[in-house]
Amino acid sequence: KLPKLSTNTYDEYPLNYTHNKTNFERENATLLMLVRNMELDGALKSMRSLEDRFNRNYNYDWTFLNDVPFTEEFIEATSAMASGKAQYGLIPSNDWDRPNWINETKFESKIKEMEDNGVLYGGSKSYRNMCRFNSGYFFRQELLSNYDYYFRVEPNVDYFCDFPYDPFKIMKEKHKKYGFVITIYEYEETIPTLWDAVEEYIKVDNGQDIDMETNAVKFITDKSLVGRYYPIVHSNSSYNLCHFWSNFEIGDLNFFRSEEYIKFFEFLDATGGFYYERWGDAPVHSILVSLLLDRDEIIHFDQLGYTHLPFDTCPTAYHLQLDQRCLCDPGREENIDITPNSCLMRWWKNGAGKSFMREG
């Protein structure tokens, strides 16, 4: 008798998780897009893709956030594209704009320096507001207060395959709090002192919220392995620069709203690093998720084909490509999954591994 082959999530869950038109329950969740009015076309493309590949069968709500009011045109077109309810929120200035305790002289000279050095978005003020908002404020917006889960969507992304399950249901039933599809290295020049601040906080926290035995710290810090398993040295600190690419993320809002997350964020924010440097929400989420959560609470959704320029992820299994009607090529140059730019091998080795298969 052959042993049961169950390394593939699809084999294990086709009946439980495939959409059943007459008998299914939505989770308490929303699709979430922070977006500018001028990005309407890109927003509609992303919506069209996600509706077609997933949401037309589920009709989850869409939540749109903006630091200025949405135009009538934006609201009309996106509401028409949504299969569920669509709601629109204006971000309060306090949650978006540069705080007045930022030293303006220092700020101006720092961003000029980063721009001159050719750092990506190094000279942008609004990009910094966006990264800080996505790190510490999106989950506190009133429109999200009654939801448990969000699925972040950006303009101009594409989902290559039919979803084989409702990812929100996986989150709920498997007790997952953070889900990703792509993990890569951050540009070190955007976060020169982020890890120093994190190490300081680890001392302050003193093991209260951070459990180094059960968390995913080994995924983001593996200096001892550099040169041994991974020939490319990416980093000067013991943070290896690995981060979950946050333009796709599915998360538990209650985790982000928790005291442990907010305390950690406020500590980082108080250094001014979001403005004097250019800390991205991706490394911030990733570090806090990897330190505060149990590593089994993080999930790699490995069946969801996805692209956001300049990278793709695409399932490699042939039967899966057929079953999920994928329109992607795992051999394409843009496919990041097992290239040297990807942290996925580190995730497999030092992250949660096959925790998807275990009961939470």
By annotation, the residues acting in catalysis are 249
Binding footprint of ligand GDP, residue count (CB under 6 A): 11
Select 35 or 292, whichever has its Cβ closest to ligand GDP: 35
Binding mask 36-65 for ligand GDP (x = CB under 6 A): x--x--------------------------
Binding mask 147-176 for ligand GDP (x = CB under 6 A): -------xx---------------------
Question: CA–CA separation, 257 vs 179, rounded Å?
Answer: 17
Select 64 or 163, whichever has its Cβ closest to ligand GDP: 64
**For residue 179, what are the β-bridge partners?**
250, 299
Min dist. Cβ of residue 43 to ligand GDP (A): 8
Min dist. Cβ of residue 22 to ligand GDP (A): 35
Name the binder of 240 from ligand GDP, Mn ion, none, CB < 5-8 A by kind.
none
The set of residues, in sequence order, having a beta carbon less than 8 Å from that of 107 and lying 6+ positions away, is 98, 275, 276
Question: CA–CA separation, 130 vs 157, rounded Å?
Answer: 18
Burial environment of residue 309 by CB neighbours within 10 A (0 to 12, 13 to 18, 19 or more): exposed
SS3 for 152? strand
* Residues engaged in binding Mn ion (CB under 5 A): 154, 247
Min dist. Cβ of residue 207 to Mn ion (A): 36
**For residue 151, what are the β-bridge partners?**
31, 250
Q: Which stretch binds ligand GDP (CB under 6 A): 18-26, 28-36, 137-145, 162-170?
A: 28-36
Name the binder of 66 from ligand GDP, Mn ion, none, CB < 5-8 A by kind.
ligand GDP
Select 10 or 279, whichever has its Cβ closest to ligand GDP: 279
Q: Which residues 179-218 are close enough to bind ligand GDP by CB under 6 A?
A: none
307 binds ligand GDP (CB under 6 A): no
Question: CA–CA separation, 276 vs 336, rounded Å?
Answer: 30
Min dist. Cβ of residue 63 to Mn ion (A): 17
- Residue 271 per-residue DSSP state: T
Name the binder of 315 from Mn ion, ligand GDP, none, CB < 5-8 A by kind.
none
Q: Report the residue from 29, 35, 182, 210 that binds ligand GDP according to the rule CB under 6 A.
A: 35
Sheet of strand 298-300, all strands in order from the earlier edge strand to the far edge:
86-90, 61-66, 29-34, 149-152, 249-252, 178-180, 298-300
Min dist. Cβ of residue 33 to Mn ion (A): 11
The set of residues, in sequence order, having a beta carbon less than 8 Å from that of 229 and lying 6+ positions away, is 349
Question: CA–CA separation, 6 vs 263, rounded Å?
Answer: 40
Question: CA–CA separation, 122 vs 114, rounded Å?
Answer: 5
Q: Which of 52, 56, 73, 60 is nearest to 33 (CA)?
A: 60
Binding mask 98-137 for ligand GDP (x = CB under 6 A): ----------------------------x---x-------
- Per CB under 6 A, residues contacting ligand GDP are 34-36, 39, 66-67, 126, 130, 154-155, 247
